[in-house]
Amino acid sequence: MKEQYFYPSVIRFDGEKYEARFPDFKDCRATGLNRDEILRKAKRVLGEYLFKLESEKLVLPEPSDIHSIAVQKNEMIFVLDIHMPLYRVNDRDLAIKKTVTIPAWLNNVALENEVNFSRVLQEALKKELKDRGLKLHDPSSNL
């Protein structure tokens, strides 16, 4: 397994949306509303797809030579750089320890009432991020 892969993506704009396809992976595609979004989504989808293939112990093909890929006039080729350690970590199972400071009285009341500190912190962080207008995405949810 490599740490880094470089695969070409053909991105097409049809006047309304962008679509990314991968000449080396026929079943892997992404769509987006603008160029920034399609590049982000294409990279994420390809990284997750490569991780899935690695997990199944499949041999990954050599990347196609960009000069051998036929494109239409509304298509462009981008070479995507995929850093695999980001995709190999199973984010659903990985817990990061954080140290927080709270008033002693609040800690005592929470302990007496069997409050799950980790769950409360996770829920509060998700709410705070959503309130700031961020869309949360579990990177491992598309595998």
Name residue 81's beta-bridge partners: 6
Q: What is the pLDDT of residue 67?
A: 96
Q: What is the pLDDT of residue 99?
A: 87
Q: What is the pLDDT of residue 58?
A: 94
Q: What is the pLDDT of residue 88?
A: 85
Residue 6: helix, strand or coil by DSSP?
strand
**Global confidence as pTM:** 0.64
| Distance in angstroms between the alpha carbons of the first and the last residue of the chain | 18
Write down the architecture of domain 4-88 according to CATH.
2-Layer Sandwich (3.30)
Q: What is the pLDDT of residue 142?
A: 42
Question: Residues near 12 by Cβ (< 8 Å), separated by ≥ 6?
Answer: 18, 19, 20, 21, 72, 74, 75
Domain parsing of the chain, residue ranges: 4-88, 95-135
pLDDT along the chain (143 residues), means of 10: 95 95 96 95 95 93 97 96 86 70 94 92 91 73 43
Question: Are 81 and 44 a contacting pair, CB within 8 Å?
Answer: no
